[in-house]
Amino acid sequence: MKPSQYEIVIYGATSFVGQIICQYLSEYREEPAIRWAIAGRSESKLKALRDTLPGTQPDILVADAEDEAALRKLCESTSVIASTVGPYALYGETLLRVCAESGCDYCDLTGEVQWIRRMVDRYQATAEASGARIVNCCGFDSIPSDIGVLYTQREHRARFQQPSTDIRMRVKAAKGGLSGGTFASLMNVMKEAANDPKLRKEMADPYSLCPGIASKTRQHNPGLAEFDKVSGSWTSPFIMAAINTRVVQRSNFLLGGIYGEGFRYQESMIMGRGFSGRLKASAFGGGLAAFMMGAAIKPGRWVLEKLLPAPGEGPSPEEQQSGFYDLRFFACADDAVTLRTKVTGDRDPGYGSTAKMISQAAICLARDIAPEHCAGGLWTPASAMGEKLLARLESHAGLTFSTLEEG
């Protein structure tokens, strides 16, 4: 890897999640010590942030998201840039392009599937030529799903000497809030889709991040309220499934189809058993449908933007600390479960846990992944870092991966 002044630069450090990342890194200890810096467009805000950090005091670098010269200088100073500047479709392309051109590794927190596809189309060849490893979706969307499937497939092969061609993830429990930045990204995705029929068709394709894929096995999309045989419960759609399922399919694509021919993957949320579970699923599914319909039209987006948190707002430190998630993965064969695994996180999914996940992804890229093991290009967490990232998540990010005998 190229010698540089820093191993990691956190770009967008004063954003809501950026501040949590900086708190985590300032107290994080690994030998040798991480060489890192914080960056953004406002020097005064960066200084104010640095003054709040309890541990290591990072250097400050100033660069606007559209200042190409400043961004190139940023890339020259570091091995990896971790970007929190969303919505990425509005503010993220220049930095990603400069990283792809300069050979600087990059990771982010985007969940904007339409933007990722554009970046793959525009910069895959550029990143391959420069050696830049670009890794999107390094937060709750989509590391637990992506690495969870990788872990489940590893365990399935150990037991049955072959991969599972049908894995279903169910959110058993979760507690945590969403920030204004997350809602802003979602509103922008809905706005783009509303104005572009071609984009709506692309976003409906479960293989939208697998350009040129030859085989297109039909993927099941769980209904608004659906009885799920594998968990024995009523389920509703999981809002992150739209990005997570595409990322998992892209991992399989980039890893040469190691999950098996015709691999299927789906996600939903467990709502409960019996009549009460059905009522809860129907209510949740109906509410989600109403939200998505409102977000799809201009007046609805205007109302939602007035009601939802603004960018920079999000869950309190106490809420982040008390949050958690419990995800279950079912490897199936004709609706019969062959293996059950579990992924848990010890903080709220979108912020406390996400901050630790992207931090460890950035460290993993900087320290653990040699160029001969992962060449330049646009990757997913599982395809770029795989087992090395899994080990870091368990050791340093509060995630657990385990195999269950039942339930």
Res 321: pLDDT = 85
- Evaluate whether residue 361 is within a structural domain: yes
Gap between the Cα atoms of 124 and 111, Å rounded: 18
Among 47-51, 146-150, 227-231, 309-313, which is the least confidently predicted range?
A: 309-313
Amino acid at 399: L
- Evaluate whether residue 403 is within a structural domain: no
- Evaluate whether residue 90 is within a structural domain: yes
- Evaluate whether residue 276 is within a structural domain: yes
| pLDDT higher than 80, residue 190 | no
- 131 lies in which domain range? 6-140+352-389
pLDDT per residue over 344-365, tens digit each? 999 999 899 999 999 999 999 9
| pLDDT higher than 90, residue 177 | no
CB atoms within 10 A of CB 2: 12
DSSP annotation string for 145-178: HHHHHHHHHHHHHHHHSS--SEEEEEEEEEE---
User: In this structure, what DSSP letter does residue 272 have?
Assistant: E
Residues 360, 373, single domain; the answer is yes
% pLDDT > 70, the chain: 94
Q: Please say which residue of 319, 349, 379 terminates a domain.
A: 349
- Evaluate whether residue 398 is within a structural domain: no
DSSP annotation string for 343-389: EEESS-IIIIIHHHHHHHHHHHHHHT--TTTS-SEEE-HHHHTHHHH
Residues 50, 172, single domain; the answer is no
Q: Which residue has the higher pLDDT, 213 or 277?
A: 277
Q: What is the mean pLDDT of the chain?
A: 91
Q: Which residue has the higher pLDDT, 294 or 50?
A: 50
Contacts of 230 (CB under 8 A, 6+ apart): 168, 170, 330, 332, 335, 337
pTM of the model: 0.94
Q: Please say which residue of 349, 377, 397 terminates a domain.
A: 349
pLDDT per residue over 371-383, tens digit each? 999 999 999 999 9
Residues 48, 136, single domain; the answer is yes
| CATH code of the domain in which 28 resides | 3.40.50.720
Gap between the Cα atoms of 368 and 142, Å rounded: 20
Among 19-23, 77-81, 157-161, 212-216, which is the least confidently predicted range?
A: 212-216
| pLDDT higher than 50, residue 407 | no
Residues 382, 278, single domain; the answer is no
Residues 91, 200, single domain; the answer is no
Residues 123, 171, single domain; the answer is no
Res 254: pLDDT = 96
Res 27: pLDDT = 95
| pLDDT higher than 50, residue 1 | no
- Evaluate whether residue 365 is within a structural domain: yes
Residues 132, 147, single domain; the answer is no
CB of 22 closer than 8 Å to CB of 34 = no
Among 43-52, 116-125, 126-135, 199-208, which is the least confidently predicted range?
A: 199-208
Residues 195, 340, single domain; the answer is yes
Gap between the Cα atoms of 132 and 297, Å rounded: 38
Res 188: pLDDT = 78
Tokens, residue 290: 């109403």
Confidence band (pLDDT; 50, 70, 90) for 191?
A: confident
CB of 402 closer than 8 Å to CB of 340 = no
Per DSSP, the three-state class of 294 is: helix
Tokens, residue 264: 């299927």
Place of tokens 């830049």: 132
| pLDDT higher than 70, residue 2 | no
Residues 259, 296, single domain; the answer is yes
Res 119: pLDDT = 98
Residues 246, 368, single domain; the answer is no
Number of domains the chain contains = 2
- Evaluate whether residue 396 is within a structural domain: no
CA nearest neighbour of 340 among 355, 327, 322, 357: 327
Residues 21, 130, single domain; the answer is yes
Residues 80, 186, single domain; the answer is no
Amino acid at 109: L
CB atoms within 10 A of CB 262: 12
Phi, psi of 393 (to 5 degrees): -60, -40
Strands 264-272, 233-237: pairing kind: antiparallel
pLDDT per residue over 301-346, tens digit each? 777 777 666 666 777 888 888 899 999 999 999 889 999 999 999 9
| pLDDT higher than 70, residue 194 | yes
pLDDT per residue over 214-272, tens digit each? 667 889 888 899 999 999 999 999 988 999 999 999 999 999 999 998 999 999 999 99
